[in-house]
Amino acid sequence: TIPGVNEFLQQKEKSKLHEHEDENKRKYRTLLESRKTLPIYKFREDLMSAIRDHQVLIIEGETGSGKTTQLTQYLFEEGYCEADTEDEDEVEDGDDDDNIKLPDGKKKTKKKMMIGCTQPRRVAAMSVAARVAEEMNVKLGREVGYSIRFEDCSSERTIIKYMTDGMLLREFLGEPDLASYSVLIVDEAHERTLHTDILFGLVKDIARFRPKLKLLISSATLDAEKFSQFFDDAPIFRIPGRRFPVDIYYTKAPEADYVDAAVVTVLQIHVTQPLGDILVFLTGQEEIELANEMLLERTRKLGTKIKELIILPIYSTLPSDMQIRIFEPAPPGGRKVILATNIAETSLTIDGIHFVIDPGFCKQKTYNARNGMEALTITPISKASANQRAGRAGRVAPGKCFRLYTSWAYQHELDDNSIPEIQRTNLGNVVLLLKSLGINDLVNFDYMDPPPMETLRLAFEQLYALGALNHKVELTKLGRRMAEFPLDPMLSKTILASETYKCSAEILTIVSMLSVNNSIFFRPKDKTLLADTARQAFFVPGGDHITLLNVYNQWKDTNFSTQWCYENFIQFRSMNRARQVRDQLETLMERVEIEILSNPADTIGIRKSICAGFFYHTAKFSKNGMYKTIRHQQSVLIHPNSALFDQIPRYVIYFELVLTTKEYMRQVIEIENEWLRETAPHFYKTKKLDDDDKVKKMPKVLGKIKAELERNYS
């Protein structure tokens, strides 16, 4: 028997004394039984022996087979959390009960090792950790925990840790060999997010000098061969899935309004088809809320003529108590319809789905390396995605999938596979992180699919302009400090610049508010006028960032009141999130040794700090009544919701560009021309920007980077 498991079971015995003991035990038993019905269960022994025999294993299995929730538990039960006795396994500190008291009064404790499992999405990390904690009958955050950006729900005791791929990447900063982990599971590998792709290269490398580390790459039924090749022909373990046939239906003509079409289809299914839940794939919160409203309205009209229809949304920013609800079974005789983003494609498995409605779109990040513009756009999905989506209908019984596009479109318009994120995103943050890890040659990094050269070059150029890299393309002290923040380099630089202008308290607030961007102000359809008036009442000179600061400070003065939010058309949930982000950032300030100083009246200092990070995003009013961006001479407008909408400041800095009917700058502040020179001497000419001014030519060093990149990319 394995000592760790015994301890664990003993603790369970102890917990018998607790009040809810009976109920808990019953629940635990039921869960234990249902765990045994998962497809992965039959292969437990084979899997464990394959893991014993191989350092790296690719695990492929249908969504819902139990990879994410079971693998970690099997590994724990198999003893992978016990420190290897041949290793140095004793460390000081810790205050667990099982510590050994040494004569000199110091405590020694046996080091436990962790099983880490990465997820591309935060919702999945949280939800799966909660499920596993429940299955093991422990409190979430103790033995089983999760870690996502700005929220760490794990502790000293944690032995099974779910986390976003981005968080594991950051753990390399503190622990370059990830010595606290005995097993790393890179889950949902087929999603090929930027962070997962970078992790591939890093974990492959540490596996070489940590022969006892186990590395599991797990994915839905996609790409297994490609993963195997990348990991030096690691063996593939296939978990045979149960999958029932799914009938696929296409529309005869393209749908002009797919949200409406989806709503109509839901109602048709509900009225004509036997019971069984419906899963609808939409692209984001806005569409989901819209569909939700439409469904509510139309079912209300139908009244009691129809069976009960429970509508459940799921998207990444939904509060966790609401997220849990999607797993509750539909009431007897009723049906549930889940309105989901593509989180439900493979990351979350919801039982009981018989019908899938697939409009064929998802929101995807795109990046234009020529001008550095990043945008979230609604894009057609790939054939691989379409098939994953359809598969959700056939898990428990034969199902039906309604594709809201034509069969011709499926065959001729959809790509076979999605493009990995690394090839369509800004790399600034990742380059900074890798540089901080001492990885200097980013061209020859071990990529599964390399990023475009132009994107890498742009990342170097931007980091140089921000002062994070010097003219020899080495990390500067500033760059090292910037890497401490899990933020875009422009935001990190803004925070660091606040030291100079003695307004770190204000900048932290602004950065936190920007991170929950666009969900601060509440604008219900039936009260738009009141909501707009309430929003405008917060406007202050200087622009939108200062307005956000004003909102936060007023809220803080009410002692974070819910009522105040309600009265002022402010989303309490978003404010709370901003507060949480701010708390996290504040703890990071200690690491970079910046004092929290407040200077709310000095909006110039505040705006100069923003300027120091966002000088790339400068736009200047031009004669045709539009603004022109300084870098790319692109015509843009101030967003109608901006505090500066009806003013015409000569120079502005924007947080982001959004393309709706026109190209709009969202979150805008007014700046003075001279501030650019002061805050971004690397980037702007020493003289003032006048009418036909251009930005400073990048020094020769960047030419060198380019030459170097070109040579290596040949």
Contact set with ligand ADP (CB under 6 A): 38, 61, 63-70, 127-128, 130-131, 327, 349, 351
Nearer to Mg ion (CB atom), residue 68 or residue 603: 68
Strands 373-380 and 335-340: unpaired
Could you tell which of ligand ADP, Mg ion, none binds residue 39, using a CB distance below 5 to 8 A set by kind? none
Specify whether the CB–CB gap between 57 and 71 falls below 8 A.
no
Specify whether the CB–CB gap between 58 and 228 falls below 8 A.
yes
- What is the Cα–Cα distance from 231 to 455, expressed in whole angstroms? 25
Question: Shortest Cβ distance from residue 577 to ligand ADP (Å)?
Answer: 21
Q: Which two tokens stand for residue 105?
A: 């009064």
Q: Which two tokens stand for residue 573?
A: 């949930």
- What is the Cα–Cα distance from 646 to 639, expressed in whole angstroms? 10
Q: Which of 435, 429, 427, 420 is nearest to 457 (CA)?
A: 427
Question: Shortest Cβ distance from residue 76 to ligand ADP (Å)?
Answer: 14
Question: Shortest Cβ distance from residue 565 to Mg ion (Å)?
Answer: 36
Q: Which two tokens stand for residue 207?
A: 């596996």
Could you tell which of Mg ion, ligand ADP, none binds residue 617, using a CB distance below 5 to 8 A set by kind? none
Q: Is 11 helix (H, G, I), strand (E, B) or coil?
A: helix
Tokens 């970078």, located at residue = 198
Nearer to ligand ADP (CB atom), residue 327 or residue 645: 327
Q: What are phi and psi of 473, to 5 degrees?
A: 60, 30
Nearer to Mg ion (CB atom), residue 68 or residue 436: 68
Nearer to ligand ADP (CB atom), residue 241 or residue 542: 241
Alpha-carbon distance values, 586 to 484, 495, 590, 594, 596 (Å): 12, 10, 7, 9, 8
Could you tell which of Mg ion, ligand ADP, none binds residue 61, using a CB distance below 5 to 8 A set by kind? ligand ADP
Question: Shortest Cβ distance from residue 134 to ligand ADP (Å)?
Answer: 8
Sequence-distant (≥ 6) Cβ neighbours of residue 482 within 8 angstroms: 432, 466, 468, 489, 492, 493, 496
Question: Shortest Cβ distance from residue 11 to Mg ion (Å)?
Answer: 28
Question: Shortest Cβ distance from residue 511 to ligand ADP (Å)?
Answer: 32
- What is the Cα–Cα distance from 629 to 636, expressed in whole angstroms? 7
Nearer to ligand ADP (CB atom), residue 130 or residue 442: 130
Nearer to ligand ADP (CB atom), residue 66 or residue 276: 66
- What is the Cα–Cα distance from 704 to 707, expressed in whole angstroms? 5
Could you tell which of ligand ADP, Mg ion, none binds residue 136, using a CB distance below 5 to 8 A set by kind? none
Nearest residue to Mg ion, using CB? 68
CA atoms within 13 A on the CB side of 269: 28
Question: Shortest Cβ distance from residue 663 to ligand ADP (Å)?
Answer: 40
**What is the CA 238 to chain-centroid distance, rounded?**
28
Residues at the contact surface with Mg ion, assessed by CB under 5 A: 68
C-beta atoms surrounding 83 within 10 Å: 17
Q: Which of 308, 263, 271, 315 is nearest to 290 (CA)?
A: 263
Nearer to Mg ion (CB atom), residue 218 or residue 498: 218
Strands 107-110 and 90-92: antiparallel
Question: Shortest Cβ distance from residue 37 to Mg ion (Å)?
Answer: 17
Could you tell which of ligand ADP, Mg ion, none binds residue 399, using a CB distance below 5 to 8 A set by kind? none
Nearer to Mg ion (CB atom), residue 71 or residue 266: 71
Could you tell which of Mg ion, ligand ADP, none binds residue 69, using a CB distance below 5 to 8 A set by kind? ligand ADP
Could you tell which of ligand ADP, Mg ion, none binds residue 351, using a CB distance below 5 to 8 A set by kind? ligand ADP
Could you tell which of Mg ion, ligand ADP, none binds residue 66, using a CB distance below 5 to 8 A set by kind? ligand ADP
Question: Shortest Cβ distance from residue 188 to ligand ADP (Å)?
Answer: 8
- What is the Cα–Cα distance from 455 to 367, expressed in whole angstroms? 9
Strands 627-629 and 635-638: antiparallel
Q: Which of 168, 220, 239, 237 is nearest to 486 (CA)?
A: 168
Nearer to ligand ADP (CB atom), residue 326 or residue 490: 326
Could you tell which of Mg ion, ligand ADP, none binds residue 486, using a CB distance below 5 to 8 A set by kind? none
Question: Shortest Cβ distance from residue 124 to ligand ADP (Å)?
Answer: 8
Could you tell which of Mg ion, ligand ADP, none binds residue 170, using a CB distance below 5 to 8 A set by kind? none
| Extended beta strands in 65-106, E state | 90-92, 100-101
Q: What are phi and psi of 2, to 5 degrees?
A: -105, 130
Could you tell which of Mg ion, ligand ADP, none binds residue 618, using a CB distance below 5 to 8 A set by kind? none
Sequence-distant (≥ 6) Cβ neighbours of residue 328 within 8 angstroms: none
Could you tell which of ligand ADP, Mg ion, none binds residue 65, using a CB distance below 5 to 8 A set by kind? ligand ADP
DSSP state of 340: E
Nearer to ligand ADP (CB atom), residue 250 or residue 327: 327
Tokens 């843009």, located at residue = 636
DSSP state of 304: G
Question: Shortest Cβ distance from residue 67 to Mg ion (Å)?
Answer: 5
Could you tell which of ligand ADP, Mg ion, none binds residue 327, using a CB distance below 5 to 8 A set by kind? ligand ADP
Could you tell which of Mg ion, ligand ADP, none binds residue 131, using a CB distance below 5 to 8 A set by kind? ligand ADP
Nearer to Mg ion (CB atom), residue 169 or residue 189: 189
- What is the Cα–Cα distance from 175 to 198, expressed in whole angstroms? 16
Question: Shortest Cβ distance from residue 667 to Mg ion (Å)?
Answer: 36
Which one-letter amino acid corresponds to residue 423? Q
Question: Shortest Cβ distance from residue 195 to Mg ion (Å)?
Answer: 17
Nearer to ligand ADP (CB atom), residue 74 or residue 615: 74
Nearer to ligand ADP (CB atom), residue 70 or residue 379: 70
Question: Shortest Cβ distance from residue 317 to ligand ADP (Å)?
Answer: 18
Nearer to ligand ADP (CB atom), residue 168 or residue 546: 168
Which one-letter amino acid corresponds to residue 487? L
Element (H, E) at 464: helix 453-466
Q: Judging by beta carbons within 10 Å of its beta carbon (0-12, 13-18, 19+), is residue 584 exposed, middle or buried?
A: middle
